[in-house]
Structure 1
Amino acid sequence: GAYYEIWLDGEKVISAEEHPDVKAARQRNTNGTIFPHNEEPIYGDRYMPRKFKCCVTVPGDNSVDLFSQDLTLVVITDEQGNLEGFNIYAGGGLGRTHNKEETFARLADEIGFVQAADVYEAVKAIVATQRDYGDRYNRRHARLKYLIHDWGVEKFKAKVEEYFGKPLEPFRPLPPWRYKDFLGWHPQGDGKFFYGLSIANGRILDRGNFKLKSALRKIVEEFQLPLRVTPHQNLLLCEVSPDQREAIQHILEEHGVRDVTALDPLERYSMACPALPTCGLAITESERAIPGVLERIRRLMNRLGLQNEHFVIRMTGCPNGCARPYLAELGFVGIVPDTYQVWLGGSPDQTRLAEVYMERLPLAELETALEPLLVFYRDRHQPGESFGDFCHRVGIPALRQFAANYVPSSAPKRYRVDVRADQYQQLKALAAAKGLSLAALTREAIQRYLEQARSTNQE
């Protein structure tokens, strides 16, 4: 029952009733899937020492990083949109430990299709299989992914079907998976809209002229809208009627909240775990480090003529992979303070595992390490080929060989520009309000001035 209650300051603030179908399915004993008359009818007294992650999505929508989940249900409907059943994936998981090769990231496998009426029994059968045959002695080997890896999909599927009581149906064909972040305005399909709001590193705060927390509070108080948290640390404002859109947009703008079109794609598609000082498992920085990392990578890309390119970058402060770096095109995984493993070759839609490119990269050497890779990509990639797809196609050995033989071009000259003390303080305050570095803000201001001057001269 605790799953249906939320308590705050000693008071129950939200309580939900369990759906009768769910309760009936949990209490139904199919081929030994439950322990009757037990407070925990499915787990019983079995200790489950690791998480068991589940998600539900629709064909083509990989906004949930489905290949990283223990169990995924893909909704299958008929041509009229009526629910037929679910495709099942199982065995994904990204947690690993440095220098322990028996731990590894793994993608989920296709298991089969189940009719909608049988979905509870199928899920119970999968959980019961993990409960009864998953490793209970070695906590590092306890996840479902290791059971499927050790057994193979066919043996796992056969055991699930024993609990299920009948064969699973063949996996239904699906379109290619695509990552979607749903930022900006979108129709819900019922005449209303939702608005996807980018939350940098998952932090909702007020800072200078950027007052995201105040904007959200005003919107919720004024319009009583439900909020949804996405798997990529963003927010969706839901149930927006057409006559509310303009007012909500105005509130966001007056609080300095940038529209999605103003985001650098490197920032839009990046993600970092909290790491230090919040997480006790963190080895090094992540959430607090990634803004500077993204700025340095963008500056490097601009210098190399890659202004219009972007790719998925993810960073974690330890190898547990909470920001899912092993599915990114470029992943940074903390290994010692201020030093990261570098992973390359994931897909832009998170459908392929990356590979280790570099075991230890001190953050101070970021540009030195990435410049050869970006030059290689710039000069050799195929039309429309993403950075991750390019790295996967050419392979890690070729990337390392190119980097080993790469002779960097001479670094561009740096010029010093004087400003008055009062101007410097104004720039510094404005940079903090916008969440930019002083150098980035100054370059942006000068560029805008030059563009305006050129436009005036042309006129």
Structure 2
Amino acid sequence: MTNKLSDVERIKTESRYLRGRLIDSLADDITGAIHPDDTQVIKFHGSYQQDDRDIRAERQEQKLEPLYSFMLRVRMPGGVATPTQWLAMDELARTYGNNTLKLTTRQAFQLHGVLKRNLKSTIQKMNSVALDTIAACGDINRNILCSATPEQSMVWQRVYEDVKAVAELLLPKTRAYHEIWLDGEKVEGSESEPIYGATYLPRKFKTAFVVPPVNDVDVFAHDMGFIAVVENGELLGYNVTVGGGLGSTHGDKTTYPRLASTLGFITPDKVLAVAEHIVTVQRDWGNRETRKWARLKYTIDRVGIDAFKAEVEKRANVVFAPTREFSFDTNTDRFGWTEGVNGTHHLTLRIEGGRVIDRPGELWLTGLREIAKVHRGDFRLTANQNLVIANVPSTQRAAIDALVLRYGLNAYATFSELRQRAIACVALPTCSLAFAEAERYLPEFSQKIEALLQKNGLLHLPLHLRITGCPNGCGRPWLSEIGLIGKAPGKYNLYLGGDQAGTRFNVLYKETLDEQQILTELDGLIARFARERKPQESFGDWVARNEIVTVAA
């Protein structure tokens, strides 16, 4: 330990509660970029500065700066949006974005391609329909996930209320966002952040609520998780988990993914106190010198789970009861119609890669705009990049079905189980961290794996595939049966052996493979699996049982 804070800590300290130089940066019309320090500050406002990497070299040859633009991520607890909000986001995508909406693995909308001069107008339009981007990125509690499972609507509604309460509690209290983007009155005098302090958290912080038996949020991948304990249709409380996280650095064994540990059970009235003080312990105990070791998972591994639990109990004035029994059977979404309560119905649509876009024969952006114009319920974005058209009255189902058919939103019905489940992060061309393709590569690669499955009579097989362009984990690749993690252009590390419930990590099988090498490896393994599998055995379980890789117990 050097006792020298990271440069990002300096930027936060000097930011005056997240103001930085953003006002001046936005006013500078000489460049499409903002001041380097402000690229960190603006993350707390829900935005990343990006450029189009497909044309970066071309512009450099022309002596032009990169084609800078900004990604905006909406804070939307539980991924719930009204039809009015959907229509506003659709309009912004077509007016200021790149004519697409991205549905993220954090149940949020992302707009890509927003130019600096349009940032303020975009955020103000969001605000007009009660949406914001506050704390969607940065060293802070980010958008909170909630199970989108429609089958348990009454319990879901009760859990969703807790999601919203924790999201509100953990919002930063600075008025910087309102001053900069919404022309709010400037604060005179001092400010304070009672939970975060002046320098916020050491690193990003992610939270999820889940309702078993569906682990559609991959709760063990999160810094903080709440697993609902339900009995006779009533919410008794939550098992609380801490210390999950997926990001790592290639070649650095001091960085690693970690499954969350369970602290124990609490009743619903303790949720706010426990959430607040899990955050404050990480605020005070987390590593502020080296960012790659700053997530909560490293804090817990450094101090020990018992010491961490004792400190949370002390600060929150609670005692965790023994963990209540629970189980998960899947971490995927179920597509098509399901019946809810009070005569309502829910339609889950597959949105491949989470990209809502108009393509020939699949006018998804247009189709969902038309659905939003007539829909009387709400929309739920899932953590698997899909969409639930929720709370549809029986009398409206036929109209929704007709629009789904007209605009090709039912394309998923022809997809294999593998293609329905697969996840990919954005990666190239906009993500500055990506080494390789992910979202753009997903349909093509999925079809090649489908061919291997079909050759072995397994096309019907539920199989989890996830692809990310780098090891930061946005697509949760370690919680899949087959994971590809970008290493270089066209090259991936191949991971195998995860389960289908999001409770077991996969393990590195081989490094730096190109597509043909990956397909050759999988061809042989899938052929063996077809011959040797037990009845109903999944590919990941077969890999683990046969010690193709050594997975944790």
Q: Aligned runs of 1:114-129 on 2, under 5 Å?
A: 114-129=266-281
Asked whether the equivalents of residues 219 and 225 of structure 1 are also in contact (C-alpha less than 8 Å), the reply is no
For the residues of structure 1 that align with 2:334 and 2:485, how far apart are their CA atoms? 27
Contact kept, 8 Å, 2:479 with 2:498, in 1: the verdict is yes
CA displacement 1:315-353 (0-9 Å, x = unmatched): 001111111110100000000110000000000122100
In structure 2, relative to structure 1, the CA distance for the partners of 1:251 and 1:366 (3 Å cut) is: same
The 5 A counterparts of 1:380-399 are 380-396=532-548
Residue 311 of structure 1 is matched in structure 2 by 463
Deviations 1:30-68 (A, max 9, x none): xxxxxxx95311011234242111111113220111111
Structure 2 equivalent of residue 43 of structure 1: 196
| Structure 2 residue 165 is the aligned partner of structure 1 residue 13 | no
Q: CA deviation at 1:188?
A: 2.1
- Choose 125-134 or 147-156, whichever is displaced more: 147-156
Say if 1:69 and 1:90, in contact at 8 Å, map to a contact too. Answer: yes
Tell me, what secondary structure is at the counterpart of 1:110? strand
Instruction: Name the CA shift for 1:21/1:251 in 2 (closer, same or farther; >3 Å).
Output: closer
Q: State the 1:256 CA deviation.
A: 2.3
Q: Is residue 248 from structure 1 mapped to residue 400 from structure 2 by the alignment?
A: yes
Counterpart residue number, 1:290 = 442
User: In terms of mean alpha carbon deviation, does 156-165 or 234-243 score higher?
Assistant: 156-165
**1:248-287 mapped onto 2 (5 Å cutoff):** 248-258=400-410, 260-287=412-439
Between the aligned partners of 1:23 and 1:268, the Cα distance in structure 2 is 30
How far did 1:8 drift?
Answer: 5.0
Alignment check: 8 A CA contact 2:497 2:549 kept: no
1:369 — aligned with what?
Answer: 521
**1:263: Cα distance to partner?**
2.0
Query: What are the ranges of 5 or more consecutive residues in structure 1 without an aligned counterpart?
Result: 28-36, 400-459
1:363 deviates by 1.4
Q: 2:365 matched to 1:213?
A: yes
The amino acid across from 1:266 in the alignment is L
CA distance in 1, matches of 2:314, 2:489: 48
Deviations 1:191-233 (A, max 9, x none): 2111101001111112112211121111111234421111011
Amino acid at match of 1:52: F
Q: Give 1:359 shift.
A: 0.9
> 102-111 vs 150-159, which deviates more?
150-159
After TM superposition, the structure 1 = structure 2 runs for residues 158-177 of structure 1, keeping only pairs within 5 Å, are 158-177=310-329
CA distance in 2 between partners of 1:398 and 1:306 (Å): 24
Alpha-carbon spacing, 1:93–1:25, altered in 2? closer, same or farther (3 Å): closer
Distance 2:550 2:76 in 1: 53
Indicate if the aligned counterparts of 2:507 and 2:550 stay in contact, CA closer than 8 A.
Answer: no
* Cα distance between partner residues in 2 of 1:42 and 1:72: 18
Provide Cα deviations, 1:404-451, integer angstroms capped at 9, x if missing partner.
Answer: xxxxxxxxxxxxxxxxxxxxxxxxxxxxxxxxxxxxxxxxxxxxxxxx
Q: Give the 3-state SS of the residue equivalent to 2:434 in structure 1.
A: coil
Residue identity over aligned pairs, in percent, reads: 35
Alignment-mate amino acid for residue 51 of structure 1: K
Aligned-partner Cα distance in 1 for 2:285–2:444: 45
* Cα deviation 1:294-325 (Å, max 9, x = unaligned): 11111122223333324100000111111111
Instruction: Name whichever of 247-256 and 320-329 sits farther off.
Output: 247-256
Q: What is the correspondence of 1:32-71 to structure 2 with a 5 Å cutoff?
A: 39-71=192-224
Do the aligned partners of residues 211 and 22 (structure 1) sit closer, same or farther apart at CA in structure 2, a change above 3 Å counting?
Answer: closer
- CA separation in 1, counterparts of 2:199 and 2:267? 29
- The CA distance in 1 between the partners of 2:336 and 2:365, in whole Å, is 18
Q: What secondary structure does 2:356 align onto? A: coil
Q: Are 2:274 and 1:137 equivalent residues in the alignment?
A: no
Distance 2:223 2:257 in 1: 12
Q: Which segment drifts farther, 16-25 or 129-138?
A: 16-25
SS in 2 for 1:396: coil
Q: State the match for 2:331 in structure 1.
A: 179
Look up the match of 2:388: 236
Structure 1 length-normalised TM: 0.79
1:102–1:194 Cα change, 3 Å:
same
Aligned counterpart in structure 2 of residue 328 of structure 1, from 477, 480, 493: 480
Tell me by how many angstroms 1:21 deviates.
7.5
> Which one-letter code corresponds to 1:13 in the other structure?
S
Contact 2:428–2:434 (8 Å) recurs in 1: yes
Tell me, yes or no, if structure 1 residue 73 matches structure 2 residue 226.
yes
Which amino acid in the other structure matches residue 360 of structure 1?
A: T
The aligned amino acid for 1:61 is V
Describe the superposition over 1:230-258 as per-residue Cα deviations: whole angstroms up to 9, x where unpaired: 10111111120001001110111122222
Residue number in structure 1 paired with 2:106: none
Q: For residue 385 of structure 1, what is the amino acid of its counterpart?
A: E
Question: What is the aligned counterpart of 2:306 among 154, 157, 162?
Answer: 154
Residues 72-129 of structure 1: CA deviation (Å, up to 9, x unaligned)? 11223443x3433221011110001100101001111111111211211111121111
Contact persistence 1:314–1:328 (CA under 8 A): yes
Task: Report SS of the residue matched to 1:55.
Answer: strand
CA contact (8 A) 1:355 1:396 kept: no
CA distance in 2, matches of 1:213, 1:107: 36
Q: Aligned to 2:128, what secondary structure does the other structure show?
A: strand
Question: Which residues in structure 2 correspond to 1:407-422 (within 5 Å)?
Answer: none
For the residue of structure 2 that corresponds to 1:39, the secondary structure is: coil
Question: What is the aligned-residue RMSD (CA, Å)?
Answer: 2.9
Do residues 342 (structure 1) and 457 (structure 2) align?
Answer: no
CA drift at 1:397: 5.5
Return the alpha-carbon distance in structure 2 between the equivalents of residues 342 and 71 of structure 1.
28
Corresponding residue for 2:238?
A: 86
How many angstroms apart in 1 are the aligned matches of 2:530 and 2:412?
A: 26
1:184/1:260 contact within 8 Å kept: no
Q: Report the CA distance between 1:370 and its aligned residue.
A: 1.3
Q: Pairwise mapping of residues 420-459 of structure 1 onto structure 2 (< 5 A)?
A: none
Aligned counterparts of 2:404 and 2:522: Cα–Cα separation in 1:
36
Amino acid at match of 1:253: L
**Residues 170 and 252 from structure 1, CA distance in 2 versus in 1: closer, same or farther, beyond 3 angstroms?**
same
Kindly tell me: are residues 266 and 4 of structure 1, through their superposed partners in 2, closer, same or farther at Cα, counting changes over 3 Å? closer
Q: Structure 2: how far apart are the matches of 1:149 and 1:376?
A: 38
> What CA deviation, in whole Å up to 9, does each residue of 1:350-381 have, x standing for no partner?
21000000011111333222111112211222
Q: CA deviation at 1:4?
A: 9.2
How many pairs are equivalent? 389
Tell me if structure 2 keeps the 8 A contact 1:177–1:351: no
The structure showing larger relative contact order (alpha-carbon pairs under 8 Å, at least 6 residues apart) is 2
Query: Given the superposition, is the C-alpha separation of residues 398 and 95 from structure 1 closer, same or farther in structure 2, using an over 3 Å criterion?
Result: closer
